[in-house]
Amino acid sequence: MRKNYLYKKFLFLGMIIAMTISIATAIEKISTEVELPVMNGVSPRMELTIPFDKPIQADSINKSSIYVTDSKGKRVDVFRQLSLDGKSIKIIPVEPYQKGAEYKLWIRGSLKYEPNESIAKSITMRFAVASIEEELPKLASYENLKSILETYAAKTFHKLPAKSGLEGELELEKAAGEYKYLLSNGILKAIKVSTKGDEEQLGEIDVSRELDEVYELMVYERYIVAVGSSKAKIKKSGYNALEVKDKGNAYYINATVKLLVYDSYDKSNIKLVRELELEGYYQGVRQIGSIIYLTANREADHYQLLFRKDINPTPSFRDTVMSKRFLAIDYNSIACFPEIDEAAYLTTAGIDLSNPGERAAIAAYFGIGSYQYTTDSNMYVAIKGQGDLSSYYSSIMYSGDSQSNDSIGPETYLYRFYINGTKLEYTGKATIPGILEHLNPIEESEGKLKVIAGEAGPLESRSSSSSLYVLDHNMDIISSTEL
């Protein structure tokens, strides 16, 4: 009896100890693991960048500390790339992720900060790859551009108006720790601010010599970025040599959007270290950490392109990391929206300030959208319904014939581009009944996309039949609510 009693007593104590250890382990796991928000609709070629607040120790980056698994738990081969400043790691798939599949990123506590300091908490993140049925067609050739403009765009679209510049005196200010940067009357100043609020100017540089007007001022660590309008002399290219009548007139002058990168490591001697310039008018700029995206639009005027030939048929750009000269974007690098909103180009450029020697990622699209919306993960381009021109484009691109399509549909075509590092990757399209409404008709929330649309456009009277549409990561409408 005594032995049986002692056995039961020790067994009970053992169970309590085991339960205590199990609970303690669970609590420790909860406190040492961080699960990042789910990413949906990513590109099969996603280059996932994970930022850190301190430099990572390079020799701690390996297959055990960072890896990706599929939905069955099997590891996927990836490259692991540490940024130059050591504060971010890029995870790149060796082979593209499977479309429509789900994966999970693992960053273990064995990863270390310099010098030999554990990151303490493991990081996990689930992501779902977009199911892309087809890619956007390419412009491909000058002959295709001519056919589009002659047969359809020249008869239907008006000249795209230039975006108006900023009027009056512009003053921009950005704070960065104990310093602030002030741009006023074309002069960029570096100012040190004491804890008492006293200010001491350390240095300045004249920005007005490079920019006619300034739109934005941004800061990332030692780099200051100014964005504004300018004009540039651009060499003609891209035409059939036999079609160019005035061969002596080899250049033309056109409006440009210019991004300037200044190095403020020595605040008393601020230096211009990089110039990025896009032909056309300012469309927008967005900073996401060390990465900056610049967009511009340039019209494709059929008379100038087909008869006068006084501008290049495709937009040009220059990046002083590559060359000081302007380069025309190749036809095969220009994608086309199957529904044209305006006979114009949308040009995008992405740079990474944590890797200042890396070339800008340049992309261009024909048939500019009437509305653009950029989140930390995606850029959306909305095109007003003017009839589905897919069959028209197919006839131009593949058969050389063309058929007019004059049908007008009360709908919006919404294109999604995943922000993949400095690049944009097309990841899906949705057709939204009606026309986008409100000043901010698009919102990303908890892995879903919310869109408000109705019969009336944003410049017209509010429609009584507006609806809120919710889309999943594959850009399929999963619910709608009448407002």
pLDDT at residue 87 tops 50: yes
Does one domain contain both 413 and 357? yes
pTM: 0.75
Residue 148: half-sphere exposure toward Cβ, Cα within 13 Å: 31
Of 79-93, 394-408, 428-442, the range with the lowest mean pLDDT is: 394-408
- Could you give the residue ranges of the DSSP H alpha helices within 296-427? 302-303, 390-394
- The residue range of the domain holding 125 is 34-129
Interval 189-238: pLDDT, tens: 999 998 888 999 999 999 999 999 999 999 999 999 999 999 999 988 76
Does one domain contain both 341 and 480? no
User: Is 22 inside any structural domain?
Assistant: no
Q: Which of 105, 129, 153 is the last residue of a domain?
A: 129
Show Cβ contacts of residue 200 under 8 Å, excluding neighbours closer than 6 positions: 191, 192, 194
Show Cβ contacts of residue 2 under 8 Å, excluding neighbours closer than 6 positions: none
* Residue 453 pLDDT grade (very low, low, confident, very high; cuts 50, 70, 90): confident
User: Is 259 inside any structural domain?
Assistant: yes
Does one domain contain both 399 and 296? yes
Helix (H, G, I), strand (E, B) or coil at 33: strand
Does one domain contain both 406 and 311? yes
Q: Give the DSSP H/E element, type plus range, for residue 154.
A: helix 154-156
Average pLDDT value for the chain: 80
Of 110-124, 281-295, 442-456, the range with the lowest mean pLDDT is: 442-456
Does one domain contain both 48 and 169? no
Q: Which of 129, 163, 197 is the last residue of a domain?
A: 129
Domain with residue 125: its CATH number is 2.60.40.1220
Q: What's the pLDDT at 102? A: 92
Cα of 111 vs its chain's centroid, Å: 28
Domain tally for the chain? Answer: 3
User: Is 8 inside any structural domain?
Assistant: no
Does one domain contain both 222 and 358? yes
User: Is 121 inside any structural domain?
Assistant: yes
Q: What's the pLDDT at 441? A: 82
φ/ψ of 446, rounded to 5, equals: 55, 45
User: Is 175 inside any structural domain?
Assistant: yes
- The Cα 330–Cα 379 span in angstroms is 22
Given strand 88-93, what is the order of strands in its sheet?
48-51, 88-93, 78-82
- The Cα 32–Cα 293 span in angstroms is 35
User: Is 174 inside any structural domain?
Assistant: yes
Does one domain contain both 393 and 456? no
Does one domain contain both 68 and 193? no
* Residue 170 pLDDT grade (very low, low, confident, very high; cuts 50, 70, 90): low
Q: Which of 96, 129, 162 is the last residue of a domain?
A: 129
User: Is 475 inside any structural domain?
Assistant: yes
CB atoms within 10 A of CB 163: 16
Q: What are the C-alpha distances in Å from 471 to residues 22, 439, 458, 475?
A: 41, 19, 21, 5
Does one domain contain both 276 and 198? yes
Show Cβ contacts of residue 11 under 8 Å, excluding neighbours closer than 6 positions: none
User: Is 242 inside any structural domain?
Assistant: yes
Interval 29-42: pLDDT, tens: 445 678 888 888 88
Does one domain contain both 323 and 471? no
- The Cα 354–Cα 356 span in angstroms is 6
Does one domain contain both 103 and 184? no
CB atoms within 10 A of CB 274: 19
Does one domain contain both 61 and 97? yes
- The Cα 84–Cα 94 span in angstroms is 21
Tokens 């994608």 identify what position? Answer: 335
Eight-class DSSP state of 128: E
